[in-house]
Amino acid sequence: MFRDKPTAYGRLTDAISDIGDRIAELESQVVARINPRPSKAERLRRAVEHEVNRLYGATDSGYSRYLPSFLTGLSLPSADDAKASLYDAKSSLSKAGHSLGDRASDLRDHLPALSSFSFPAFGHRSSFKGGRGYQRSVDYLRERPNVSTALIAGGAILAIGTAFYVTKKIADHAEEPEYDVVRRDGEIEIRDYDAMIVAETVKTGYHEKARRRGFETLYDFIAANNRSGKKIAMTVPVLQQLSESEGRTKGWAIRFVMPKKFTKASLPTPNSNDVAIREVSAKRLVAIRFSGNFSASLASKKLMALYNYVADENLKQKGDPIYAFYNAPWTPGFMRRNEILIEVER
């Protein structure tokens, strides 16, 4: 249901990706064997470092490249910039420490009372881990596990709150296709959608990988990364549907709905045949909405409920199911909005 027969190239790329994932897993296991019981503070540090690299990494895989323009002020510096700033700060501290040490030496020559006083040499041990203050802090947290738990819980709450804030901001600014609710039965709705224009690309492979590749291709188009002209605002949802039933390349059709202010003629022309601009006529769709991280088992359960509803109501299905995703990749599962839609005759 959620996969088509991949090509030899697709199987090869998937195999290479799986090998890379396995190597990363083995590396994690080796580290775990060498240091099998890291402290809570270390685990928290690793988790924060992983999330920062994932969300704001300097590579193209970082999710920060997909943030809308109104959130660009929240971006973090790149790893290289952060390292350079840290190096500059350490150098400044080292110079200041030596300068203060020289001044203290001069004062000790004139004031014997200060002879027992000394300044630390910042240049020799500038890391927090080498200081006594760090060790006292570690001992303090080890002796008070409740404080450590509270700090970790506070960090988790802060991360969830940040994700909620960013998700809400994106939802407030993102445009959605207009529709009228004809009927509502629990979690299922019958909707009449207006005509719309979509940018579409077709990708082969498994459901999630095809969607990720298609998202990257379409995002580069609307962000003007591979064409001239102005950027196009991101809308929701991202749509995914099997394309083989429409007589095109076999695979998954990934679609971005274009903002209402555009017509097909006013949209910029894609530089590649990989992206097509299509007009979609007005449709009646039966939709089921659900939260959670999208998975084959969860989608199968919701899709079966949708099929049963269409059969019970004697509705005539047209085309394959459409999967709709409304949220950014970093959104927690319980905050996500997913939908499956089936076109039916009016």
Q: Each residue of 206-251: pLDDT tens digit?
A: 899 999 999 999 999 999 998 988 999 999 999 999 986 555 568 9
Contact 234, 68 (CB under 8 A): yes
Q: How confident is residue 321, by pLDDT bands cut at 50, 70 and 90?
A: very high
Reported pTM: 0.58
CB 176 within 8 A of CB 74: no
| pLDDT beyond 70 at 72 | no
% pLDDT > 70, the chain: 48
Please say if the pLDDT value at position 4 is more than 90: no
Q: Are 193 and 179 a contacting pair, CB within 8 Å? A: yes
Query: Using 50, 70 and 90 to split pLDDT, how confident is the model at 59?
Result: very low
DSSP letters spanning 247-297 = TS-SSEEEEEEPPTT--TTTSPPPSSTT-EEEEE--EEEEEEEE-S---HH
pLDDT recorded at residue 81: 55
Crossing angle of helices 145-173 and 132-143, in 10° steps, is 100
CA 132, 135, 141, 143 torsion-angle sign: negative
φ, ψ (nearest 5 deg) of residue 214: -65, -40
Confidence class for position 164, pLDDT limits 50, 70, 90: low
For the chain, what is the mean pLDDT?
74
Residue 159's pLDDT is 58
Q: Which fold has domain 176-344?
A: Multidrug-efflux Transporter 1 Regulator Bmrr; Chain A (3.20.80)
* Domain boundaries of the chain, sorted by first residue: 176-344
How far is 340 from 306, CA to CA, in rounded Å?
Answer: 8
* pLDDT value, residue 265: 93
pLDDT in tens, 85-125: 555 555 655 555 555 555 545 545 544 443 444 444 444 44
Question: So what's the pLDDT on residue 168?
Answer: 57
For residue 193 the two structure tokens come to: 């959608």
**pLDDT in the model for residue 149:** 64
